[in-house]
Chain A
Amino acid sequence: EDQVTQSPEALRLQEGESSSLNCSYTVSGLRGLFWYRQDPGKGPEFLFTLYSAGEEKEKERLKATLTKKESFLHITAPKPEDSATYLCAVQSFSGGYNKLIFGAGTRLAVHP
C-alpha cells in the first residue's frame, strides 16, 4: 500500500534559521512527488513536482530534493510569511494516474 509520512509534525523556527522538512514515501512505482503549501482556511498552493531521484527544484527560499525513499524541502533563511503547513503527496503508477496520496503535513511557524 502506498504511504507518505512527513516529519516533523510541527516545526518552530526563528527568522533566518534554515531547516529541512522530510517526506518519506513507500510506493510500488513513483510517478511523481508533489509539494504544496497550505495556509489556514485555504486550499493547497502548488510548489514543486519531482519525478526522479537526484532531481532538485528551487523557488525563492525553498528547495526540494528527491531520493528513492524520501524528499526534503529545504527552507533557507525563512521569513514569517513562510509560516504555513507544507504537504507532500505522491502519485504512483499502480495507484492510478488520478490519485495523490498525501502526507499529514508539517506545520511550520517562523517567528521574527
Chain B
Amino acid sequence: GAVVSQHPSRVICKSGTSVKIECRSLDFQATTMFWYRQFPKKSLMLMATSNEGSKATYEQGVEKDKFLINHASLTLSTLTVTSAHPEDSSFYICSARGTYDSDTQYFGPGTRLTVL
C-alpha cells in the first residue's frame, strides 16, 4: 500500500523549454501533495504544498511563475518547470499524504532533470 509514482524518471531538455513532471498516488487518495528538490548529497528542500482543487502554497524563495503546480485530482499532481535553465537541473521528488495514513508523507521515486 501507499505507492506513489513519478513520470518521467529522467528528462533532458534544452534551455528555455518547459518540462512537466507527473506525480500519482496509485492505491490511495492524496488530499495533499508536496514537491521537493534535492541537490547532490543534500537533504530535501520543500518547494510547495498543494491540496486537491486549491492553489499551491509555495515556500519562501520558490518562484511561483517558474514552478507551476497543479493538483487537479485526488491522485494526480503535476509540476511544470517553465523556461528551464541549467540552474534548474536537480532531482525533483513528490510526496503524497492522504487516506492511507493521514500523518505520513509517502514519496515517489524522483525525477532527474537535466537542462542543457
Contact = CB atoms under 8 A, between A and B. Distances in A.
A46 interface: yes
A44 B44 contact: yes
Given A98-B32, A98-B49, A103-B43, A42 B109 contact: yes
Contacts of A43: 4, 6, 93, 95, 107-110
Nearest to A39: B109
Give the size range of A's interface with the partner. 10 to 19
A57 interface: no
Give the residue among A36, A43, A46, A104 with the most B Cβ atoms within 10 A.
A43
A21 B43 CA distance: 16
A34 interface: yes
Given A32-B103, A34-B104, A98-B49, A46 B2 contact: yes
Given A43-B110, A87-B43, A100 B103 contact: no
Contact of B44 (A41, A45, A87): A87
Interface of A: 32, 34, 36, 41-46, 49, 87, 91, 98-100, 102-105
